[in-house]
Amino acid sequence: MSETPEAPKDEAVTPGADEASASPAEAGTSPHDDLPVQETAPTEPGAPVVVARKRGMFGSSLGNDTSGYGGLERPVLFPGASARPYGGYFDAVADALEDSLGSGYAAAVPAVVVDRGELTLHVAREQLLVVMKALRDEPALRFEMMNGVSGVNYPEHTGAELHAVYHLLSITNGSRRIRVEVTCPDEDPHIPSVVSVYPAVDWHERETFDMFGIVFDGHPALTRILMPDDWRGHPQRKDYPLGGIPVEYKGATIPSPDQRRSYS
């Protein structure tokens, strides 16, 4: 009995396939440009969201020309918002948070993403403190431990180039773990500090400020923690220059203990 042959892999249709076939000249851009685009709505819950397209001479995982001379293009994908049921304890967490926030839930939590077995609550920065207090204090939530906050820089994610990602743990409710993610633009890199809710995140916010330039409003002493106070730039941002930087520690001195900076 004959079987219908499968289509060759190189004929598979991928997001942005029509655009990828265009040469750099046809697209009117340099082959090394990043091409910011608006987020595209996923066709179904959980489908990846295209936030940008990168073009240049990079290795391709899509089965395209890997020489670079064909003007390679690759979509930058984020996981899309998930639909109920989320599975596991994720639904219970979302239900308890929605009950706590009431009618303000939709504005405070515009998206819930379940990806690779992990739950991420995307939270509006204006509502971050309200959400964090609910996550800490509600008996059905009780995420009493914050493991830290880390920064991420996506230059191609127009209007949300900087991300702050918080990792929470509930010991009371069986070691449940969730992630909270907040974004801000390069032009306004401000996010409320959550030190008043989770004091242990103090130095983590300072490190994220130091490395990424995110300003945590309300922090008791937002100063650099790894780099010298007069250091220019933020080393873990994608636009930070690589190489060719003079050694800036030459001749550096350490202040005596009675002259060192301290919290006021």
Do 22 and 103 reside in the same domain of the chain? no
Three-class DSSP category at 1: coil
Alpha helices in 75-232 (DSSP H): 90-101, 105-108, 128-137, 202-212
Do 51 and 107 reside in the same domain of the chain? no
Query: In a structure prediction context, what are the per-residue pLDDT tens digits for the chain, which is 264 residues long?
Result: 444 444 444 444 334 434 333 433 344 443 334 444 444 444 577 788 888 777 765 554 555 555 555 566 778 888 899 998 999 999 999 999 999 999 999 999 999 999 999 999 999 999 999 999 999 999 999 999 999 999 999 988 889 999 999 999 999 999 999 999 999 999 999 999 999 999 999 999 999 999 999 999 999 999 999 999 889 899 999 888 876 655 566 666 666 666 666 654
The reported pLDDT for the residue numbered 135 is 98
CA-closest candidate to residue 155, choices 212, 214, 79, 237 = 237
Do 24 and 120 reside in the same domain of the chain? no
CATH number, domain containing residue 106: 3.30.460.80
Residues 21-39 pLDDT 10s:
343 334 444 333 444 444 4
63 domain residue, yes or no: yes
Residues 155-164 pLDDT 10s:
888 899 999 9
Q: How many CB atoms lie within 10 A of CB 26?
A: 10
The residue whose two tokens read 């706590």 is 100
- Rounded Cα distance, 101 and 80, in Å: 23
Distances (CA, A) of 118 to 41, 54, 177, 204: 21, 27, 8, 22
CB 166 within 8 A of CB 200: no
* Helix-then-strand count for the chain, H and E: 6, 10
The reported pLDDT for the residue numbered 32 is 37
The domain containing residue 229 runs over which residues? 90-242
Do 158 and 129 reside in the same domain of the chain? yes
Do 143 and 207 reside in the same domain of the chain? yes
- Rounded Cα distance, 162 and 160, in Å: 6
Structural domain ending residue among the three candidates 26, 52, 78:
78
